[in-house]
Structure 1
Amino acid sequence: MKKIPVISFVGKSDSGKTTLLEKVIRELKNRGIKLAIIKHDAHQFEIDHPGKDTWRHAQAGADIVAISSPGKVAIIEKRERELSLDEVISRISGVDIIITEGYKRENKPKIEVIRSAAHRELLCRPEELLAIASDLTWDMGVPCYHIDDASGIASEIERYLHSFAG
């Protein structure tokens, strides 16, 4: 099975990761790239809603609840422990790239997002970074894009994809 390249968008809270990712996802999709997103949540999240059938099934004791329609499928699995990023990645197929939001401590190439209103220091070492997206200028030997340059960042991701395939 072909290994899927992974890039993590990292940054402190309120740095603009999600806003930038929305733009980059649209840009990559316009370029014909199939992608998956894995969002890390340090808290408990809920995608099931009290009273709905899937919620009721889970409350009755089901360990895995799946809901499927012509356009989507979701699988909700109760876990004793959090899955590692690699364990989550191993469950994904059929895409050209997997992008994560978060997972700053994982050993994956990263694009660090820094908005000066939120912070002014890098979380990552330069050798961990594929690029920096910021409203500040950085001179660290790492490509630096303006935080609104979704096209430039998408091009950097495409270059990475080509190098991964080559």
Structure 2
Amino acid sequence: MSSIPVVVLVGTSGTGKTTFLEKLIRQLKQRNVHVATIKHDVHGFDIDKPGKDTWRHAQAGAELVAISSPSTFALIRHVEQEMRLDEITAMIAGVDIILVEGYKRSINPKIEVHRKAHSSELLSSPEELLAVVSDADWDIGVPVFDLEDAVGVADLLAQKYGLRG
């Protein structure tokens, strides 16, 4: 298991998880925190383009294709079954924190993004939560932040995980 802290952002579709995560990443970067992100996509995805060299390599039978440039690196690996979050985080190094969007069933600490217009309940139990980001008031024993308060959440993460800043 990775020694890098892993925090999972969860919430129902359309609550603003990605928007809030963007704000949180910017806040952490302003503090010189090195951030990795993982996005869980239950629908599947393809980052390769038909006809391109890496696509052609995969079509020829390569199970793993890497592409590298002076500023970017990507690794495309075909898998027989979905990888577990801990398998993915074990491959990540050189960062201070890993923020995950999705993987709501993982055992990692969670920050739930919630909008009262979407649901009157939370997806997570209080024991799973580091915090709630919401436009509703919750009294469940964890900090509750406004939907715009990425600074407050960054402060919480910095304090909890000793992130430099």
Same fold (TM over 0.5): yes
Measured after TM superposition, the shift of residue 88 of structure 1 is 0.4
Measured after TM superposition, the shift of residue 158 of structure 1 is 0.8
Q: Give me the whole-angstrom Cα distance separating, in 2, the residues matched to 1:119 and 1:40.
A: 21
Q: Which residue pairs with 2:40 in the alignment?
A: 40
Q: Which residue pairs with 1:137 in the alignment?
A: 137
Q: Which residue pairs with 1:30 in the alignment?
A: 30
Structure 2: give runs of 5+ residues left out of the alignment: none
User: Which deviations, in whole Å up to 9, do the C-alpha atoms of 1:86-117 show, x marking residues without a partner?
Assistant: 00011000111111001111101100000122
User: Which deviations, in whole Å up to 9, do the C-alpha atoms of 1:100-144 show, x marking residues without a partner?
Assistant: 001111101100000122222100110110000001111111100
Q: Give me the whole-angstrom Cα distance separating, in 2, the residues matched to 1:2 and 1:110.
A: 16
Measured after TM superposition, the shift of residue 6 of structure 1 is 0.7
Measured after TM superposition, the shift of residue 72 of structure 1 is 0.9
Q: Give me the whole-angstrom Cα distance separating, in 2, the residues matched to 1:44 and 1:101.
A: 15
Contact 1:15–1:119 under 8 Å retained in 2:
no
Q: Which residue pairs with 1:103 in the alignment?
A: 103
| Equivalent residues in 2 for 1:17-96, closer than 5 Å | 17-96=17-96
- Which amino acid letter does the alignment assign opposite residue 86 of structure 1? D
Q: Give me the whole-angstrom Cα distance separating, in 1, the residues matched to 2:12 and 2:111.
A: 12
Q: Please give the TM-score of this superposition, normalised by the length of structure 1.
A: 0.94
Q: Give me the whole-angstrom Cα distance separating, in 2, the residues matched to 1:118 and 1:26.
A: 26
- Which amino acid letter does the alignment assign opposite residue 123 of structure 2? L
Q: Which residue pairs with 1:156 in the alignment?
A: 156
Contact 2:2–2:86 under 8 Å retained in 1:
no
Q: Give me the whole-angstrom Cα distance separating, in 2, the residues matched to 1:120 and 1:93.
A: 38
Measured after TM superposition, the shift of residue 44 of structure 1 is 1.3
Measured after TM superposition, the shift of residue 81 of structure 1 is 1.1
The runs of 4+ residues in structure 1 deviating greater than 6 Å are none
Secondary structure in structure 2 of the residue aligned to 1:23: helix
Secondary structure in structure 2 of the residue aligned to 1:75: strand
Q: Give me the whole-angstrom Cα distance separating, in 2, the residues matched to 1:2 and 1:91.
A: 8
Q: Please give the TM-score of this superposition, normalised by the length of structure 2.
A: 0.95
Secondary structure in structure 2 of the residue aligned to 1:7: strand
Secondary structure in structure 2 of the residue aligned to 1:117: coil
Contact 2:111–2:133 under 8 Å retained in 1:
yes
Structure 1: give runs of 5+ residues left out of the alignment: none
Q: Which residue pairs with 2:116 in the alignment?
A: 116
Contact 2:65–2:75 under 8 Å retained in 1:
yes
Report percent identity of matched pairs.
Answer: 56
Q: Give me the whole-angstrom Cα distance separating, in 2, the residues matched to 1:44 and 1:6.
A: 22
